[in-house]
């Protein structure tokens, strides 16, 4: 489903962020990418989302090279991928409800669909009572749950989560991991990056370890080893 | 893409923009205020120049023996000229009455006139051209025209153009210069204020650059991201235009009251009232267009994710 073919990324200062990475991810997998800060985890995800262009190699999504998709058509690809970030990246002047509804509006869904799906998703991430709060009125864990709601609302093929628990306390971390596991069980491919050992061990699925831009381990049912 | 969604998203983001929206409206108000002042100034200039133009005319004095039909014939020919705006006929009797009135206190002159018995004054035509620069042509026509009609002797005694030529030429030059300077001034200030408005909207949208990036990542098409910003920009511009219109009412009343004498009979208040539709369309229209263009350009920078 996803295939990185000898992908390297060097930033303008010449430092390689990702070097010669080849890996493939099948449908319905739950992949954790681990490594120290600066190991290239986030860059790898940005390459997948076509936020960054690789210096060498290609990234394929269902045999389409994602970096060949023109800018004006990129949103069609992005609707198939739900994204969650460490810093949540909610739209600050929209309420929790509107943040989730925005992803549906952007995908051109009807008002009826929005009105029936958004409350449902808010219940799923346990925010039914905070639908009309703005992001600044929500805690970190609540904001991240809104972001997850936004990521899954359009039933994407893949969820990409970059350090989703990085800014959260243990209780919220546990909740977020549980939600992601549930999403994966319902048939969505999930890719997360983390440097939290507890998270990786709690998931107990495929672990890819990166170090200084290179892929150093790939374990089918791995643990956090560094 | 539903228009209603775009409109409501634009209105919401404008309303929730708080200080940023307020600052944008404020700067746009100043911009449009300058444009409003320029409109009034150019109306004052037009009025003043029209006044000056109106004071310029050329008089043709006829010999006392010229008959009324002869003069009427010439006046008709003059009226047919494209350069001529108006031809006014003063008969010998009217000229005499006017003369008597002007010298009402001067017994000596009136006595001399009475002793003369006959009316010594000739009839005259006062010609107004559409533009002061056209008098030359009119006078040239007169010279040739009278030469033709006068089989025996010319009925024209004298034309006062040649005495006034220098003054008329200088005035024509002054009017042209004022008009050009006025246009340059208006353009300069309009451009400067538009640049300021563009920069402000750009700053307002700069604060939303991350939001735009997020929208891209969530899978929104560029047009869908851009449209609400354009709506918000149009709202800011439109509101600023309305504010300027409202402020202009008491301001023009005040200016009219204080500067009526200075402006040579030009009333800023009555200009405001009579030109209200034009001012409304110009100011609100300029605000809306400015807001839309500025937002379009500003958002474009951040859509390349």
CA distance B51 to B171: 12
Q: Do B145 and B41 sit in the same domain of this protein?
A: no
**Residue that finishes a domain, picked among B120, B154, B188:** B154
Q: Is B220 on the interface with A (CB under 8 A)?
A: yes
Looking at the fold, whether B121 and B187 belong to one and the same domain comes out as no
H/E run at residue B288: helix B276-302
Same domain, B231 and B285: yes
Q: pTM of this prediction?
A: 0.71
Say if B24 falls within a structural domain.
Answer: yes
Is the domain of B250 the same as that of B107? no
- Tell whether the model's pLDDT for residue B152 goes beyond 60: no
Partners of residue B1 in chain A, C-beta under 8 Å: 108
Query: Are both B279 and B150 inside the same structural domain?
Result: no
Does residue A61 have a pLDDT over 90?
Answer: yes
Q: Report CB contact under 8 Å: A102, B220.
A: yes
The answer to whether residue B16 neighbours chain A at the CB level (below 8 Å) is yes
Question: What domain range includes position B85?
Answer: 64-154
Of residues A157, A165, A203, the one with CA closest to residue A182: A203
- Look at residue B196 and tell me if it is in a domain: yes
Whether residue B179 is found in the same domain as residue B144: no
In terms of average pLDDT, the best of A199-208, B242-251, B252-261, B295-304 is: B242-251
Q: Is the pLDDT of residue A4 over 90?
A: yes
pLDDT at B127: 85
Nearest CA distance, B175 vs chain A (angstrom) = 55
Question: Does residue B191 share a domain with residue B48?
Answer: yes
Say if residue B148's pLDDT is above 80: no
Lowest mean pLDDT among A48-52, A95-99, A155-159, B180-184: B180-184
**What is the interface pTM, i.e. ipTM, of the complex?**
0.76
In a domain, B13, yes or no: yes
User: The CATH number of the domain where B109 resides is what?
Assistant: 3.30.70
B215 touches chain A (CB under 8 A): yes
| A-B C-beta contacts closer than 8 Å | 57
Task: Give yes or no: residues B69 and B22 share one domain.
Answer: no
Which of B98, B120, B154 delimits the end of a domain? B154
The pLDDT of A145-167, averaged and rounded, is 92
Helices and strands per DSSP (H, E), number in chain A: 7, 10
Q: Are residues B117 and B200 in the same domain?
A: no
What is the count of structural domains for chain B? Answer: 2
**B113 and B20 inside one domain:** no
Q: Quick one: pLDDT at residue B81?
A: 83
Residues B243 and A89: their CA atoms lie apart, in Å, by: 36
Q: Which residues of chain A have a CB within 8 Å of the CB of B210?
A: 89
Q: Taking Cα atoms as reference points, which of A143, A26, A20, A3 lies closest to residue A87?
A: A143
Query: Are residue B41 and residue B74 in the same domain, yes or no?
Result: no
């Amino acid at each position: 489903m996803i295939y990185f073919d000898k992908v390297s990324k060097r930033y303008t200062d010449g430092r390689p962020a990702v070097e010669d990475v080849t890996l493939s991810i099948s449908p319905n997998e739950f992949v954790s990418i681990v490594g120290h800060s600066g190991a290239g985890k986030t860059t790898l995800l940005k390459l997948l989302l076509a936020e960054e262009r690789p210096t060498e190699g290609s990234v394929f999504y269902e045999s389409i090279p994602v970096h060949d998709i023109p800018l004006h058509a990129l949103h069609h690809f992005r609707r198939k991928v739900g994204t969650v970030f460490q810093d949540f990246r909610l739209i600050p002047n929209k309420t929790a409800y509107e943040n989730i509804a925005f992803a549906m509006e952007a995908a051109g869904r009807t008002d009826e669909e929005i009105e029936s799906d958004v409350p449902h998703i808010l219940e799923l991430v346990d925010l039914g009572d905070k639908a009309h709060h703005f992001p600044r009125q929500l805690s970190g864990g609540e904001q991240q749950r809104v972001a997850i709601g936004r990521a899954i609302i359009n039933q994407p093929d893949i969820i990409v989560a970059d350090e989703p628990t990085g800014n959260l306390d243990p209780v919220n971390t546990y909740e977020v991991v549980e939600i992601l596991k549930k999403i994966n069980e319902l048939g969505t491919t999930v890719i997360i990056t983390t440097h939290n050992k507890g998270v990786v061990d709690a998931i107990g699925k495929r672990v890819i370890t990166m170090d200084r831009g290179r892929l150093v381990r790939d374990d089918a049912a791995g643990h956090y080893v560094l | 893409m539903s228009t209603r969604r775009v409109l409501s998203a634009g209105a919401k983001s404008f309303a929730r923009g708080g200080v940023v929206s307020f600052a944008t409206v404020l700067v746009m108000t100043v911009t449009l205020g300058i444009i409003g002042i320029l409109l009034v100034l150019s109306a004052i200039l037009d009025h003043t120049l029209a006044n000056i133009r109106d004071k310029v005319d050329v008089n043709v004095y006829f010999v006392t023996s010229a008959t009324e039909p002869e003069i009427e014939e010439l006046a008709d020919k003059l009226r047919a000229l494209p350069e001529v705006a108006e031809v006014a006929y003063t008969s010998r009797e009217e000229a005499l009455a006017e003369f008597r009135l002007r010298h009402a206190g001067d017994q000596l002159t009136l006595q001399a006139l009475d002793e003369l018995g006959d009316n010594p004054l000739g009839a005259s035509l006062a010609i107004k051209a559409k533009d002061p620069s056209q008098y030359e042509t009119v006078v040239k026509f007169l010279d040739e025209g009278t030469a033709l009609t006068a089989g025996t002797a010319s009925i024209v005694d004298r034309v006062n153009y040649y005495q006034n030529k220098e003054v008329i030429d200088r005035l024509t030059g002054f009017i042209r210069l004022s008009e050009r300077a006025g246009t340059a001034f208006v353009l300069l200030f309009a451009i400067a204020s538009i640049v300021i408005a563009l920069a402000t909207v750009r700053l307002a949208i700069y604060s939303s650059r991350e939001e735009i990036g997020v929208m891209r990542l969530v899978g929104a098409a560029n047009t869908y991201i851009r449209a609400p910003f354009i709506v918000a920009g149009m709202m800011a511009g439109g509101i600023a235009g309305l504010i300027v219109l409202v402020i202009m009412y008491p301001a023009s009343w005040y200016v009219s009251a204080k500067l009526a004498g200075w402006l040579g009979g030009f009333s800023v208040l009555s200009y405001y009232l009579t030109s209200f539709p034009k001012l409304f369309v110009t100011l609100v229209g300029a605000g809306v267009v400015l807001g839309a263009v500025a937002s379009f350009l500003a958002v474009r920078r951040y859509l390349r994710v």
